Amino acid sequence: MASLPFFDDYDLSTVDILLISHFHLDHAASLPYVMQHTNFKGRVFMTHPTKAIYRWLLSDFVKVSTAPEATQGLYTDEDLSQSFSRIETIDYHSTMEVNGIKFTAYHAGHVLGAAMYFIEIAGVKVMFTGDYSREEDRHLNQAEVPTQRPDILITESTYGTGIHQPRPEKENRLTSLIHSTINKGGRCLLPVFALGRAQEILLILDEYWENHPELEGVKIYYASSLARKCMAVFQTYINMMNESIRKKFRDSRTNPFHFKHIKSIKSLDRFDDLGPCVMVASPGMLQNGVSRDLLERWAPDPKNALILTGYSVEGTMAKQILNEPNEIPSFRAPETKIPRRLTVEELSFAAHVDFRENSEFIDLVGAPKIILVHGEQNNMGRLRSALMSKYQDRKGTDHEVKIYNPKNCVELDLPFRSVKYARVVVATENEGPVVDESNTDAKKPLSDSAPLHEGQILSGVLVEKDFEISLVGPADLREHTNLTTSVVRERQTVIVDAGSDLVRYYLEQMFGAVEVLADDADATEFRVMGAVNVTHEGNQSMIEWEGNAMNDAIADSVLAILLAVDSSPASVKLSSKSCSHDHNNSDDKSTPETSELHNKSKRVITLEERIEGVLAILRAQFGSALKYDPSNSGLAPTKATIEIDNLVAEIDFENLSVVCERSKILQQRVSHVLERAVDTVAPLSQNLAATNSVGSKSTTSTKTSSNGNNGADVAKPVIEAKPIIEAKPIIEAKPGIETK
C-alpha cells in the first residue's frame, strides 16, 4: 500500500477519465486497484499495444505479489480480469470526447504503445508527455510535436540536465564492450526491464551477430518468461513502429522479432554456463531474480562484464554497484559477502529525453506554462533552474514562460482568460420561447417571419453542457439538452366579503390598470399586471399565477390587498351591503361613489402631474440646487436644472434624460434619483411598462429538472444577449484549471 500514489488525498469519484501513457509498472500497476477497490467510476483509455502487454505484465505482477513469501497483494487476478474488460482503447492521432473533455493520443517513443495526450477541457489545452523520447531508435517512432499549441505542458524530468550519448555511439560502445569481453573468454550480463529496452537491445545484438560471423558460436540468451510471452505483441504491432523496421519487414518478408541468433530460456536450471555468452535478463535493478543470481555467480571473475543499460534507482543494487564496491551482499544471505571483480559499465539506453531533447521539445511545443513531473527532486530542481535561465529574457513580456515543479499532492491553481462562445438558439415557431425584449409594446416570441435586427435583446435559459454554452428557449430545452421543462401553476382561495367592484377598486389603486377578462352575473375575472388572475365569485376570490420570482411577488401583493378589503375604511363607504337587511340597490354595482372612485383609480396620470411628483422628490434630494420655473420663458416647462459647485445637470422630463457635460459623476447621481422618482409617482403597471422590467429583469417562468446524464446539463438564470447574425455572441470568461 505504501507504494501506491496518494489516492486518499483525492476524491476519485470526481474523475471522469483516466489515461494510461504506457504499460510500465510505475504508470499502470495500480490501475486494477483503482478500478475495483476505490470509488472511481470514470472511463479508462490506453493504446492497443499497451492494453495487450498490460494484461501479461499485470498477471505476472499478481503472481509475484501473491507468492507465499510476499505480503498480501493489492488485488487478485479476478480483479485484474474484471477491470481489464472495462479498459477502452484509442488509436494514435484519433480524438475522443468524454463529458466535453477532448483528448488525442500522439506517439511518445519510450516503449511500444506509449502515448502522449493532448487534452482540452473548457477551452484550456494541456499536453501531457508521460515518459517520452525524441530519439528514433531501431523500432520506435520519436515523440511527436502536437499540431496545436497547448496552454500547459506537463513533461517528465527523469534525467534533469543530463546529456545522453548519441545513439550510434552508444551502440558502438555496447557492441565493442561485448565483443572484447567475449574475446577474453568472459560473460556479459545485461540487466534490463522485461519489456521496452530489452527488445531494442535484442534487435541491436541480433543485427551485430548477423554482421559478424566470427561470433556464430557464442550464444545470446534472454531470460524472462514475461518477455517471451509478450514477444508476440511486438511481432503483431509492426505497423505501429517506425519506418525503418517496417521497411525491414517488407524487404525481408520476415518479422524482425523472430531473432536468428538469440535464444530464450525459462530458468537458469536449463542454462549451460559453459564458456563466453551474453545474457539479457530481468529485473533491471538487480534486486532479485535471474539477473541477481547471475551477478552473484559471475561477480568474482574479472573476465566477466556487467553492462547497465537503463536508469538506476537510488537504493537498488544497480545503483550501488555503479560505485564499484569490492564486494556485494548475497541476496539470500545478506551477511555473506561476494567479491566483485567483474567490470561494471553504464550505457544508458533508457528511452527518456535528456536535457537537450527536453529543452528542444519545450521550444517546439511553445506552451507558456510548464509543469515538471516524474523525476527525483534534485533533477527536477536543476532542470527548472536551467529552463528559467534559458527563458529569463522573456520575463515580463507576452511570451513569458512560467515553470513549476510541485511536490506530491501540492495543488497548482493556474488562471486562464479565454473567449467563450454562447450559441443562441432562435425560436422557429410563433409560440417559440426566445422573446424579443426590445419590443416594449408587446413581448412576442420570435418566429421566421420576425427576423433578428441589430440591438435586439433576446432572453432564454443559459445552459452549459460539456463546457459548451447555449442560450435556449424553455420549450427547446428537451430538443437541445437532456432537460425537461415543467410549469408550476399556483392557486389560492381567500374569503373576501365584498363585491367585485370593490375588489377591482383596490387592485387598481395598487397596480393601476387591471384587465377584465370576464364579467357576468356569477363571477368576475381580472388579470393583474399580465401575470396574476383573480376570479371573484360570491364572497370568495381565487388567485392563480405561473410560479416564478416576479409573479410570486405580485401574487403576494394581490393576496395582501384582498385580505385587507374587509377592514379598510373605504370599504364601509363603498360596500353595497352596509347592514344585515336588504336594500333595493343591493345588487347595483354602479353606485355613484364606486363609479367615481373607479374612474379616479383608472385615470392615467398626466405629464404635468408626474413632473410635480418627481420635482418633490428631487427637491428633497437636492434642495435649492434644483432650478425649475415653468413661467420663465428661458426655460422649457418640461426641463429643470441642478447646479452644484458650478456644475450644471439638465433634466428633460419628456424623455427622462440627464445631461451634464462637465461631470459624469453628477450626471449619474441625478439619473439615479430621477429613475427612482419616476418609479414612485405612478402605479406599478405604468412603471413596469415604462422600464420594461417584466421578462427582461426577471427569471424565466420555466423550471428545469434533470432527465438522466447524471446532471450533465445545468440550467442557468436568464441572461440578455444581443444576437449576431454572422457571428456568435462572445462571453468573456475566466475558467480555472487544477493540476495535481
- For residue 487, the model assigns a pLDDT of 83
**pLDDT of 291 higher than 70:** yes
pLDDT at 740 exceeding the cut of 80? no
- H helix or E strand, kind and range, residue 528: strand 524-528
| Neighbour tally for 724: CB within 10 Å | 12
Query: Is the pLDDT score of 447 beyond 60?
Result: no
Name the residues annotated as catalytic.
Answer: 352
Averaged pLDDT for residues 281-291: 90
The Cα–Cα gap between 677 and 626 comes to 14
pLDDT band for position 723 (cuts 50, 70, 90): very low
Q: Is the pLDDT of residue 691 over 50?
A: no
Instruction: Return the percentage of the chain with pLDDT > 70, whole number.
Output: 81
Give the number of other CB atoms < 10 A from CB of residue 230: 25
Cis (ω within 30 of 0) for the bond into 451?
no
Cell of 525: 375575472
Please identify, in words, the CATH class of the domain defined by 167-346.
Answer: alpha beta
Return the higher-pLDDT residue of 480 and 346: 346
**What are 289's three cell numbers?**
531474480
Quick check: 42 pLDDT over 50?
yes
The more confident residue out of 667 and 717 is: 667
Task: Give the CA distances from residue 341 to residues 183, 278, 319, 344, 595, in Å, rounded to whole numbers and listed in that order.
Answer: 18, 18, 17, 9, 122
Asked if pLDDT for residue 510 goes beyond 90, the answer is no
CATH architecture of 7-162+352-415: 4-Layer Sandwich (3.60)
More confident residue, 217 or 681: 217
Q: Which residues pair with 472 in a beta bridge?
A: 461
At residue 596, does pLDDT exceed 80?
Answer: no
C-beta of residue 387 within 8 angstroms of C-beta of residue 166:
no
**Distance of alpha carbon 474 from alpha carbon 470, whole angstroms:** 12
- Closest alpha carbon to 118 in 133, 135, 130: 130
Give the separation between CA 69 and CA 621, rounded to whole angstroms. Answer: 90
Higher pLDDT, 31 or 457: 31
- Assess whether pLDDT exceeds 70 at residue 389: yes
Q: Higher pLDDT residue, 477 or 439? A: 477
Residue 331: exposure state from Cβ atoms within 10 A (0-12, 13-18, ≥19): middle
More confident: 639 or 3:
639
Beta bridge partners of 153: 127, 370
Strands 95-98 and 101-107, bridge-based pairing: antiparallel
Angstrom distance (rounded) from CA 656 to CA 638: 10
Q: Assess whether pLDDT exceeds 90 at residue 74.
A: no
Nearest CA to 52 out of 15, 89, 78 is that of 89
Range with lowest mean pLDDT among 350-364, 651-665, 695-709: 695-709
Mean pLDDT of 532-553: 92
pLDDT band of residue 358 (cuts 50, 70, 90) is very high
pLDDT of residue 195: 84
* pLDDT at 484 (0 to 100): 76
Q: What is the C-alpha to C-alpha distance for residues 174 and 166, in angstroms, rounded to an integer? A: 12
Is residue 588 predicted with pLDDT exceeding 70?
no
Closest CA to 724 of 459, 452, 450: 452
Find the largest Cα–Cα distance for the chain: 138
Q: Is the pLDDT of residue 479 over 50?
A: yes
DSSP track, 91-111:
-BT-EEEETTEEEEEEE--SS
pLDDT tens digits along 220-233: 999 988 888 888 89
**CATH class, 489-577+586-602 region:** alpha beta
Q: Please indicate whether residue 350 or residue 580 has the higher confidence score (pLDDT).
A: 350
Q: Look at residue 193 in the predicted model and tell me its pLDDT.
A: 86
Q: Tell whether the model's pLDDT for residue 717 goes beyond 80.
A: no
The better pLDDT of the pair 357, 480 is held by: 357
Q: Can you tell me the distance from the alpha carbon of 535 to that of 247, in angstroms, rounded to the nearest whole number?
A: 88
- At residue 654, the pLDDT reads 79
Q: In whole angstroms, what is the distance from residue 554 CA to residue 688 CA?
A: 12
Q: Are 122 and 467 in contact (CB under 8 A)?
A: yes
Which of 330 and 700 is assigned the larger pLDDT?
330
- Report the range of poorest mean pLDDT among 286-295, 407-416, 470-479, 569-578: 569-578
How many angstroms separate the CA atoms of 369 and 449, rounded? Answer: 50
CA distance 634 to 646: 19
Cβ atoms of 218 and 238 closer than 8 Å: no
Query: For all residues of the chain together, what is the average pLDDT?
Result: 82
Q: Are strands 187-191 and 277-281 parallel, antiparallel or unpaired?
A: parallel
**Higher pLDDT pick, 546 / 348:** 546
User: Does the pLDDT at position 132 exceed 90?
Assistant: yes
Higher pLDDT, 87 or 500: 87
When pLDDT is cut at 50, 70 and 90, the band that residue 599 belongs to is: low
Rounded distance, CA 231 to CA 198, Å?
11
Q: Tell me the three state secondary structure of residue 8.
A: helix
Alpha carbon 691 to chain centroid distance? 39
